[in-house]
Amino acid sequence: MRAKSLSTESPSVSKPTTLPSGGLAAAPEAQNEVTDRAVIGGAVGDPLNRDDFFGVDSMTSVRQLLEARVHLGHKTGTWDPRMKPYLFGSRAGVHIIDLDKTLPHLRRALNVAGHVALRNGIILFVSERSQFERLVQKSARDSGEYFVTQQWVGGTLTNSQMLLRTVRLPDLMIFLSVPPSKTAIKEAAMCNIPSIGVVDSDCNPNLITYPIPGNDDTPAAMSLYCSLFSEVISRAKATRESRERREREEGQYKEGGREQSEKDELASEHSIASQ
């Protein structure tokens, strides 16, 4: 687990950085204190400044993708010409997807999912294929996120106030198979929600923010995508929890210091009472 080892880094090694807006390390007490912010930022390190914060590179390889049959596309007659840049060629009347191009796309998408999960974002798994319903539901539940595995009801996002009585929309949508109706993708684009989508040789990748060219019909390939996304989200959540725990401990330590200087008696009483 690389994410865990990264978080135990000493403050002297990494340079102090300012926190991103909405960063989890920005505790309410520390917001007004520039020095504290810098120290916390330095101790934690901005995950966005790291290329491979979640250890995604070691999770994926071309060989693994090939063995999961990610390279097998549809028959040449069913293709969407917009997928041409991602295709390797055709063999036996079937398009072959270039996994050398899939791999960076997949890693980027996994990183996006991880960073969204790290910042407490809501992730929605979408798959309208009935044969993968259980698989998608299981991976969403394993990572503690949400799913839509039935046919997409038009207006779920654009008319969420009426349909769901909520204004909170997902922060990231993962389309594990791009549906032919494309309603969900259009709605995600209209609502400015970033989307990750597995696009096969017969799909249109245009409206998807982070497309992953790959096979979306074979169970082996689908379970690979599901396990990768589930794993990276779980890693991000584990990192967030350990960071929050450490912040709580640091906060308690700080309150102990105030008690000694007798600046804030109420806070010290509170910390003693909570202990």
Q: Which of residues 131-190 bind another protein (CB under 8 A)?
A: none
Q: How far apart are CA 141 and CA 147, in angstroms?
A: 8
Using CB under 8 A as the binding rule, whether residue 215 contacts another protein is answered as yes
Tell me if 225 contacts another protein by CB under 8 A.
Answer: no
Q: Is 271 in the site for another protein (CB under 8 A)?
A: no
CA 217 to chain centre: 23
Q: Would you say 202 or 231 has its CB closer to another protein? A: 202
Long-range contacts, stretch 144-148, CB < 8 angstroms, 24+ apart: 144/233, 144/234, 144/237, 145/117, 145/233, 146/122, 146/170, 148/124, 148/184
If binding is defined by CB under 8 A, does position 94 make contact with another protein? Answer: yes
Indicate which single residue of 27, 62, 193, 267 sits in contact with another protein (rule: CB under 8 A). 62
Is residue 92 at the binding interface for another protein, with CB under 8 A as the rule? yes
- Give the Å distances, CA to CA, from 129 to 13, 103, 152, 189: 48, 24, 11, 21
Question: Does the protein bind another protein through residue 78 (CB under 8 A)?
Answer: yes
**Residue 77 interacting with another protein (CB under 8 A):** yes
**# binding residues, another protein (CB under 8 A):** 28
CB of 142 to another protein, least distance (A): 23
Instruction: Please select the residue that binds another protein; options are 41, 73, 197, 211, rule is CB under 8 A.
Output: 73
Distance of alpha carbon 233 from the chain centroid: 6
Q: How far is the CB of 58 from another protein (least distance, A)?
A: 14
Closer of 124 and 222 to another protein (Cβ) = 222
79 scored as a contact of another protein (CB under 8 A): yes
**Residue 43, C-beta contacts closer than 8 angstroms, at least 6 positions apart:** 9, 11
**Is residue 52 at the binding interface for another protein, with CB under 8 A as the rule?**
no
Containing 73, the helix (H) or strand (E) segment is strand 72-75
- Report strand pairing: 146-148 vs 123-126: parallel
Which lies closer to another protein via its Cβ, residue 92 or residue 167? Answer: 92
Which residue number, 218 or 227, has a Cβ lying nearer to another protein? 218
Range in contact with another protein (rule: CB under 8 A) among 51-59, 88-96, 139-147, 239-247 = 88-96
CA atoms within 13 A on the CB side of 69: 12
Q: Tokens 């003693």, residue?
A: 272
Among 2, 29, 39, 88, binds another protein (CB under 8 A): 88
How far is residue 266's CA from residue 173's CA, in Å, rounded to a whole number? 45
In a 13 Å sphere around the CA of 257, the CA atoms on its Cβ side amount to: 6
Provide the minimum distance between the beta carbon of 76 and another protein in the complex, in angstroms, as a whole number: 9
- Rounded CA-CA distance 219/250 in Å is 46
Cα–Cα nearest to 84, from 98, 103, 63:
98
Among 67, 241, 249, 264, indicate the residue that binds another protein (CB under 8 A). Answer: 67
The residue ranges that bind another protein (CB under 8 A) are: 62-63, 66-67, 69, 71-75, 77-80, 88, 91-94, 96, 98-100, 202, 215, 217-219
